[in-house]
Structure 1
Amino acid sequence: MDGSNVTSLSQQNQFRNLVDSTYDPVISTDLDGRIITWNPAAASFFGYNEKDMLGKNVQSLFQPAKQHSPGCVEYLSDGHSVQTVFNKDGNVIKVPLTVFSVKDTEGKLISKCFVIRAQETLHKPAHLLKQFEAIINSSDDAIVSKTLDGTVTSWNKAAENIFGYSAQEMLGNKLLILFPADKHDEERQILQKIAIGERIDHYHTVRRHKSGRLIHVSVSISPVHDEFGHVVGAAKIARDITEKVENERTQALYKALVYSSQDAIVSITLDGHIESWNEAAEDMFGYSRAQILGQKMHILLPSERRAEEEHLIHRVRSGGAVNHFRTVRKCKNGEQIYVSVSLSPIVDDNGVTTGISKIIRDITSEIENEEIIWKQANFDVLTGLRNRSSFERTVSNFLSSADKNTSRFALMFIDLDNFKIYNDTYGHAFGDKVLIEVANVLGSTIRHSDELSRFGGDEFTVCLNSCHSVAIAESVAKNIVNNITEIRKVDGISVALTASIGISFYPNDGEELITLQQKADKAMYEAKHKGKNRFRIFSELLNAESHENYAMVEELSLAIERNQLSLAVQPIYSSEDYRLVKGEALVRWHHPQFGSVSPEVFIPLAEKHGLIQQIGNWVLAESLKKLPHWIDVFGNDFQLSINKSPFEFYDHDDCMLLLKHLLHENGLSGYNLIIEITEHSLLEHTDVTERILASYSALGVKIAIDDFGTGYSSLSYLKRYVVNILKIDRLFVAEMTANSIEYQLCKGIINLAKSIGVQVVAEGVEDDSQLALLLSMGCEFYQGYFFSKPVSVAEFGHLPGRFNHVPENLAAQPR
């Protein structure tokens, strides 16, 4: 309705009837904004009757923020607009509003008229509004409206739930608050599209929850038009698809993992039919997907594993877990492989198990490597016998469960005699073959119930189980000794092998492994002391000898103080004119109660009980006092050899200080001094030895290797260390004949020494036949009873400078 001048009463009545009959709400006010007419359509639209509203200010119908603004200029402006009003229920309604002025006959303004175009309004009748409101608020999707500048004008319950903000927090605020920083430009683009009337359907994007977490949403946005077709805002529906996106992502990840996995990933039905089969399964078992899908899982099972498979499936169906179960499966080509299998149920949305998923890993290489590692940890790589740790663990387990009243066993320590000869003469590879041959002989000699190990180097141990008599142990030991001597050739080379064996018994000799080992070891060394190639059973007599040794140690500690030690010297002759060119200083101990004690007895005791340094320093001091006189007697090239125990190396710095002092004090050059060390010293103290030998060499002192050929090693140290002289062990010389292996060994040592520029001294020369053989080999120096036994210091100075008792045929032999 439009109008400007209402003049007559009839016209006023006509106007009133028209207003009351229209479907559009019509409201008129005086100039102060007080309502003076309120037609039935207005009462229906707003929910207020005429009596309630007459005299009320029209501003009470509009949004609260504007109720308190001074005047009502905005609402009194003539023309068409879209305004927001509130009905009695508090609902916010956007309405098309027409405002016009009413004037009297003289053109004077007397009132304002407000007409709401009900047929075009965005508002629906109250009952429809309530339905729409109920629908919107019960929706699981966020339903939001906003203006073209992004200001929120409506916000349903689902929006609160999805985004975390209440309607009170969002109404009147910008929707941009939901956009992550990197999505701000997205809102600008959306508003631009809406402003030109475009729709946005099912747009997947990301919004930020009030808590800060990101939400995946599917957004549909429609422009909102006024009654004139102008876009005035946007209606937005947002669905939370976070779970769907995560599920899709998980599913995609799962598919990628299944596709790229090195493990076979298979799914089967509850009755065992294969439903899925990845590429790794094809590679592992040799069946393509086309060949295997629909087949029973039994196709992969060795017959003896079928009951196992049924048990695993039953366990999973019963709610149990199967993780990394190790078993065996069969490939298409018949090959069986070791696998690790994990099973898990496939459940539907109701939690019902509908199938089983399997992850299968080929662990054949892993099992093989574990077996290799286990064998390396428990068995000797060379001989295949148990190693020391495995043997000790086995025997210890037996001891822990043994009944000392009924259980009996014997422990044997077996050591090869002079194995070093063959190892060094023919090389490591040959020495390994000797050890393998010995291991085979031992394995075939002992009983099946016994335990055999390579203890280390050329030592072996045997545990004779159920050994209820000494006779059983003696019989086995005799067979071992005899069978080892029966080894005549190894790899085509003649050998003469022997062994020394020590035996202790459980429980008679001890109830702990360490005790039994110590006693068997003592017995073995006693067998060696008695001549080798034999066995010795531990007895308390050996212990008694040990107790006697302690008394001897106490006396030895006082020997220097009591002047009981003395020097003896054994001359060493050159093959050139048999001149006396060297001597070996030897310590002797004469005790008033024990008599003359052999160095083979008291030197080991001194080493074991920390007295060797004291004795060694005394020998060095006494020898260097005499050396200047012997140089005068035998010539400037005379050299005196002094033995050094490896135990003296522990105080090396003090020893070197003492040596330098004694050389200076006696006016000596290092050239005239030879330090003899055993071959074992080089092998057992390599880190220290290298520094020590370098220190001696720096002083000009010569280095000799005593008892050469008796250790267990290679000859690599001759290249590593500075060595000037090799002394062939007397045992080789004693057993040497023209056709013997000892002859070949001595010849090999002499040739080796010549090739590397090292002198050779043959020890233990007892007769002219040995001398003749050594001369034929080109040996340079000789020491032994054929020439002279060790003599006192006084006698040594009076020995002739040349040996004059060589048989004529040897004296004339070319050298």
Structure 2
Amino acid sequence: MAEMAVSDTLIRLPNRPGFDERLPHLIDAQTGADRCAAVMMLDLDRFKNVNDKYGHPAGDRVLVEVGKRVAALLRECETVARLGGDEFAVILRKLDCPGQASATAERIIDAVCRPIMLREGEVSVGTSIGITIFPDNEGSSDELMKCADLALGEAKRAGKGCYRFYDPAMQEEVSRKHAMAEELERAFDEDQIKVYLQPILLLETGAVTFAESLVRWDDGTPGPLAAGEFIDVIDEFQLAPRLEHAVFSQVFGMVKQWHHDGIDYPVVTLNLSAADLRSSKFCERIIAAVEKHELRADMFALEILETALFERGAETVENNIRRLSDLGFRIMLDNFGVGHASLTHLTCLPADYVKVDKSLIACIQPKDAGETIPGAVLKLAKGLGINTIAEGVENERHLSWLMSMNCDYAQGYFFHAPIPLKTFDLYLRGGVFASSEREGLAQYRLTNS
């Protein structure tokens, strides 16, 4: 009975209590020793996909195989334990230098990512690893585990399938994020989270046909913060529902007013996160919000980062994209050309528009013809009958090249910076969009066409 209390009955390795029992002995043994030791925390990547597709019994067999593979790489004096779920921990002992921990981490990553054969079929998972070195990072068992966990979080943010060593700066980053999360809570309470709109022009006529909604944190100080500076905190501290409510209420409320007042207005685009698309309830939430404001789905376009197609829950993401399209929303595949999206995704998903990433547009040179990456993306989309939008148009050179390539739409600071929603409303009600300060650019009339 005592053995069962400290062992994982599924994969016959130490469990969390068993690991916690062994870790203090490691600390005592290393105190004053010339050599170092390491504590690793492992979290499996893409494991949820196995459970979702084949069921939990298949997932259990994957855990057993992963446990065997990791244990086979360790020396007799070292330990691997299953902490729970798809989390494992490893104790490495008698290390001459941290580089030995790096080598072991690389071997573990390579071993775990090898395909696993199940009765249901072949599956592939991966692992991310956080490492803390003792006695470089001294402390209690709980403190060492906390350090390894912080390093694990950093590894997962770095793109998964990699390892990271604990650094004291990680704790400073955690403190910064906690402070920012508290400030964001107040920002939502005080309506400091604002929607800005950036015009997207139809290049053939110069008409502003779309407007991308962008989030800004405007606390009254000069220069509001762009979403990229705080979106990781929104996700990590489960503030996404508050952000969603703020964006939906501002955008749908304004479009409802424009529609009621009979004003010509562009199709407003909304940026969706991978978390939105992984949620089984998101489709219901967004269509409920649209209908609450007496609007229709076809009045809006949804921008989807191509990276969302490759994160965990990719099958759910693709199903939700199809459902949103069926509901009437226009679908834009955002930042295309810098990730891993392929011809398969363009042909299988209901993409109405492809947005060529601004990093590709920035590389355009006057002598460039179509034999460039952005040129290839434009030709590919055109060949499939998908409308093209260029992001990050900053100068006349970009514009001329895009027009020579028959790109359909463009947006960027060459035309206009993102505009506060209320200011955009004033431009619409004036009947004429704000004229550009750049020489040679005319005013742009708004249209729904």
Same fold (TM > 0.5):
yes
Distance in 2 of aligned mates of 1:634 and 1:761:
25
Q: Which amino acid in 2 is paired with 1:409?
A: P
Q: Give the structure 2 partner of residue 408 of structure 1.
A: 97
Look up the match of 1:635: 264
The alignment's TM-score, normalised by the length of structure 1, stands at: 0.36
Q: Does 1:581 align with 2:209?
A: yes
User: Match of 1:670?
Assistant: 297
SS of 1:735 mapped into structure 2: coil
Question: Helix, strand or coil for the counterpart of 1:567?
Answer: strand
Q: Summarize the alignment of residues 514-529 of structure 1 with structure 2, pairs less than 5 Å apart.
A: 519=151, 522=154
Whether the 8 Å CA contact 1:709–1:729 is kept in 2: the answer is yes
Matched with 2:272 is 644
For residues 746 and 570 of structure 1, the distance between their equivalents in structure 2, rounded to whole angstroms, comes to 22
Query: What secondary structure sits across from 2:376 in the alignment?
Result: helix
| d(CA) in 1 for partners of 2:109, 2:155 | 16
Q: Is the 8 A contact 2:337 2:374 kept in 1?
A: no
Tell me if 1:782 matches 2:410.
yes
SS at match of 1:586: strand
Conserved 8 A contact 1:680-1:711? yes
* Whole-angstrom distance in 1 between the partners of 2:68 and 2:374: 37
- 1:714 shift after superposition: 3.4
Structure 1 residue 675, shift from structure 2 partner? 1.1
Q: What is the CA-CA distance between 1:564 and the residue it aligns to?
A: 2.0
Once superposed, what is the RMSD of the aligned Cα atoms? 4.4
Structure 2 letter corresponding to 1:669: R
Residue 411 of structure 1 contacts residue 520 of structure 1 at CA under 8 Å; is this kept in 2?
no
1:572 corresponds in structure 2 to 200
Does the aligned pair in 2 maintain the 1:577–1:802 contact within 8 Å? no
Between the two structures, name the one with larger relative contact order (CA 8 Å, sep ≥ 6). Answer: 2
Match of 2:397 in 1: 769
Preserved contact between residue 727 and residue 763 of structure 1 (Cα < 8 Å)? yes
TM-score (norm 2): 0.62
Corresponding residue pairs, total: 336
| Amino acid of the structure 1 residue aligned with 2:333 | I
Whether the aligned pair in 2 keeps the contact of 1:616 and 1:648 (CA below 8 Å) is no
Q: 1:403 to 1:683 in 2, by over 3 A?
A: closer
Distance 1:737 1:597, change over 3 A: same
Are positions 1:758 and 2:386 aligned together? Answer: yes
Paired residues for 1:392-403 under 5 Å? 394=73, 403=93
- Specify the SS of the correspondent of 1:760: strand
Distance change >3 Å, CA 715–CA 550, structure 1 → 2: farther
Q: Deviations over 1:773-801 (max 9, x none)?
A: 22222211111111111111122121634
Residue pairs, 1:227-626, within 5 angstroms: 394=73, 403=93, 407-410=96-99, 455=109, 506-507=133-134, 508=136, 519=151, 522=154, 539-591=167-219, 596-626=224-254
Shift of 1:577: 2.1
Q: Cα distance, 1:392 vs. partner?
A: 9.1
Q: Structure 1 residue 572: deviation in Å? A: 0.8
Q: 1:506 to 1:397 in 2, by over 3 A?
A: farther
CA contact under 8 A between 2:391 and 2:412: conserved in structure 1? yes
Secondary structure in structure 2 of the residue aligned to 1:788: coil
Deviation of the 1:580 alpha carbon: 0.9
CA distance in 2, matches of 1:711, 1:393: 35
Q: Deviations over 1:150-199 (max 9, x none)?
A: xxxxxxxxxxxxxxxxxxxxxxxxxxxxxxxxxxxxxxxxxxxxxxxxxx
SS at 2:189's partner residue?
A: coil
Q: Is the 8 A contact 1:566 1:587 kept in 2?
A: yes
Residue 687 of structure 1 is aligned with which of 295, 315, 318? 315
Amino acid at match of 2:151: K
**Greater C-alpha Rg:** 1
Provide the C-alpha distance between the structure 1 equivalents of 2:435 and 2:101, rounded to a whole number of angstroms.
Answer: 49
In the alignment, the residues of structure 1 paired with residue 192 and residue 78 of structure 2 have an alpha-carbon distance, to the nearest angstrom, of: 48
Distance in 1, Cα, partners of 2:405 & 2:344: 23
1:267-296: CA deviations, max 9, x gaps? xxxxxxxxxxxxxxxxxxxxxxxxxxxxxx
CA distance in structure 1 between the aligned counterparts of 2:213 and 2:417, rounded to whole angstroms: 12
Please tell me the residue identity of whatever aligns with 2:387: Q
Give deviations 1:593-615, integer Å, cap 9, x for gaps.
Answer: 99844411321211122221231
> How far apart are residue 388 of structure 1 and its match?
12
Structure 1 unaligned regions, length at least 5: 1-376, 378-386, 414-448, 460-501, 529-535
After superposition, what is the alpha-carbon deviation per residue over 1:375-415, rounded to whole angstroms, capped at 9, x for unaligned? Answer: xx9xxxxxxxxx999689647879658556x62124899xx
How many Å separate the matches in 2 of 1:795 and 1:753?
34
The 8 Å contact of residues 565 and 590 in structure 1, kept in 2 or not, is answered as yes
Aligned-residue identity in percent: 21
Residue type of the partner of 1:694?
A: R
Partner of 2:295: helix, strand, or coil? Answer: coil
AA matched with 2:295: L
Report the Cα distance in structure 1 between the residues aligned to 2:340 and 2:145, rounded to whole angstroms: 26
Query: Quick one: structure 1 residues 791 and 593, their matched pair in 2 at CA, closer, same or farther if it must change by over 3 Å?
Result: closer
The aligned residue for residue 744 of structure 1 is 372
Q: Deviations over 1:226-253 (max 9, x none)?
A: xxxxxxxxxxxxxxxxxxxxxxxxxxxx
Q: Distance in 2 between matches of 1:782 and 1:634?
A: 23
The secondary structure found in structure 1 opposite 2:412 is coil
